[in-house]
C-alpha cells in the first residue's frame, strides 16, 4: 500500500510540473506539506519527492528547498510536439537501452536523443517506470509463433526457448527486469507463456505443476541471458575484454588452485587451458535447454494419464 501511495503522489506532482502548474524554479511542496496533503507518513512523502529528483524533474536549492528543474514545460493544452508519439519514444528508449544498458536510460536522455524539450516525453509517458514497461512489452512482441505450431510438446518448448533467447540476445536488458516472483502484466510476454503452457497441457499435469515447469523453463532462459548484459556492463566499466580480465585474474587463480584444496577443479582448468576452451553462452544455452527438456520428459512420462472425455 505504501508503495502504491508514493507512486500516486509522484504521479500527481509530475502532472502539475508537466502541465505548468508548477513552473521551473517554483518551490515544490515540502515533505511535511506532502505528508499532510495526502495523509501519509513523512517517509512516504520523501520517497515520492526522491523519485521526482531521480527523474531530474526537481532539484534541491540551498535555502529554497526543493524546486522544479529544467526549462519551462509546455503550457496546459498546448499541442504536442510535431512528429512525437509514444511509439517513437518507446523505440528510441529501446535503442538507448540496447546500446548503453538499462541503467543509462532516463527520460531526459530520451528527449535529448529525440531532439525535443526535456519535458516533452512526459506528455506521452508518465515516467521512466512506465516507459520501461512499454519498452519490455514492445521488445517481447518482436517475435511470435506460427499459426500452426510444431506437433510435439518438446518441439514447441524448444521453439519457445529459442525465441526467448533470440529476444534476450537482441535486447540484453530484458533479462534484468522484475523477478519471476513479480511478473509484469505484459500481453506480449504472455504470448510466450501461452506457447509454453500449451506445450505442457494435456499431459496429466496439475495446474500447479504446469506453472512450476513453465516458470522453471523461462527462468533457465532468463538466467543464462542475465550474463549477456552483465558481461557488457563489466567490459564497459573495467575497460577490459573478457580475455584481458581473465589474464589479470591469473595470479589469484593460480594461488588458489596451487593450495591443494581444489584438486579436481585444478585438474579440469589445467586440461581446459592446454586444450583451449572458450565459454560460449549460445552453446551453453543449447546444452542447458536439451538437459532441461530431458528432465521435463521424465516428468511427463510419470504424470497421471489424462482421463478420456
CA 309 to chain centre: 43
pLDDT of 203 over the 70 cut? yes
**Residue-level pLDDT at 73:** 43
Query: Under a CB-based contact definition with an 8 Å cutoff, are residues 16 and 26 in contact?
Result: no
CA-based nearest residue to 107, from 56, 176, 69, 50: 56
Residue 77 CA: distances (Å) to CA of 49, 74, 80, 88, 118: 25, 8, 9, 21, 17
Query: What integer pLDDT is reported at residue 177 of this predicted model?
Result: 87
Q: What is the pLDDT of residues 234-270, one digit of tens each?
A: 777 777 777 788 888 888 888 888 888 999 998 998 8
- Determine how many CB atoms are found less than 10 A away from the CB of residue 21: 13
The yes-or-no verdict on residue 21 having pLDDT over 90 is: no
Give pLDDT, residue 35: 84
In angstroms, the Cα distances linking 98 to 103, 105, 228, 238 are: 11, 10, 11, 19
Is 70 exceeded by the pLDDT of residue 72? Answer: no
pLDDT digits (tens, 9 = 90+) for 47-70: 888 888 777 778 877 666 788 876
Task: Find the angle CA(43)-CA(46)-CA(48) to the nearest 5 degrees.
Answer: 115
Percentage of the chain lying above the pLDDT 90 cut: 43
> How confident is the model at residue 64, as a pLDDT?
66
Q: What is the pLDDT of residues 211-233, one digit of tens each?
A: 999 999 999 999 999 998 888 77
91: left (phi over 0), alpha (psi -120 to 50) or beta: alpha
Q: Helices marked H in the chain — which ranges?
A: 2-18, 31-38, 42-54, 86-100, 107-114, 128-140, 153-170, 187-200, 207-238, 242-257, 263-275, 281-301
Q: Which of 14-28, 138-152, 192-206 has the lowest mean pLDDT?
A: 14-28
Residue 77 has pLDDT above 50, yes or no: no
Round to whole Å and give the CA distance between 248 and 234: 14
- Is residue 225 within 8 Å of 168, Cβ to Cβ? yes
User: DSSP letter string over 211-240?
Assistant: HHHHHHHHHHHHHHHHHHHHHHHHHHHH--
Contacts of residue 46, Cβ cutoff 8 Å, sequence gap at least 6: 31
Place of cell 505504501: 2
Task: Assess whether pLDDT exceeds 50 at residue 36.
Answer: yes
Question: What is the pLDDT at residue 9?
Answer: 86
Give the whole-angstrom CA distance, residue 91 versus residue 179.
24
Amino acid at each position: 500500500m505504501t508503495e502504491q501511495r508514493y507512486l500516486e503522489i509522484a504521479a500527481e506532482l509530475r502532472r502539475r510540473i508537466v502541465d505548468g502548474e508548477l513552473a521551473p524554479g517554483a518551490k515544490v511542496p515540502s515533505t511535511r506539506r506532502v505528508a499532510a496533503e495526502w495523509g501519509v507518513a513523512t517517509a512516504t512523502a520523501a520517497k515520492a519527492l526522491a523519485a521526482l529528483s531521480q527523474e531530474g524533474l526537481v532539484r534541491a536549492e540551498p535555502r529554497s528547498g526543493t524546486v522544479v528543474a529544467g526549462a519551462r514545460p509546455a503550457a496546459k493544452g498546448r499541442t504536442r510536439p510535431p512528429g512525437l508519439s509514444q511509439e517513437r519514444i518507446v523505440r528510441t528508449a529501446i535503442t538507448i537501452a540496447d546500446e548503453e544498458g538499462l541503467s543509462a536510460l532516463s527520460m531526459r536522455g530520451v528527449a535529448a536523443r529525440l531532439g525535443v524539450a526535456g519535458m516533452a516525453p512526459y506528455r506521452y509517458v508518465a515516467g521512466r517506470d512506465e516507459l520501461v514497461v512499454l519498452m519490455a512489452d514492445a521488445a517481447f512482441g518482436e517475435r511470435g509463433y506460427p499459426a500452426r505450431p510444431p506437433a510435439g510438446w518438446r518441439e514447441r518448448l524448444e521453439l519457445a526457448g529459442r525465441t526467448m533467447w533470440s529476444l534476450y540476445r537482441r535486447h540484453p536488458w530484458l533479462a534484468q527486469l522484475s523477478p519471476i516472483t513479480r511478473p509484469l502484466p505484459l500481453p506480449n510476454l504472455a504470448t510466450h507463456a501461452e506457447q509454453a503452457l500449451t506445450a505442457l497441457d494435456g499431459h496429466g499435469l496439475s495446474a500447479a505443476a504446469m506453472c512450476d515447469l513453465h516458470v522453471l523453463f523461462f527462468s533457465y532462459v532468463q538466467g543464462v541471458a542475465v550474463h549477456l548484459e552483465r558481461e557488457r556492463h563489466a567490459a564497459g566499466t573495467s575497460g577490459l575484454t573478457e580475455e584481458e580480465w581473465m589474464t589479470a585474474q591469473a595470479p589469484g587463480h593460480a594461488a588458489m588452485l596451487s593450495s591443494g584444496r581444489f584438486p579436481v577443479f585444478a585438474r579440469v582448468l589445467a586440461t581446459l587451458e592446454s586444450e583451449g576452451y572458450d565459454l560460449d553462452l549460445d552453446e551453453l544455452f543449447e546444452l542447458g535447454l536439451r538437459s532441461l527438456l530431458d528432465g521435463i520428459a521424465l516428468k511427463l512420462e510419470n504424470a497421471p494419464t489424462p482421463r478420456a472425455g
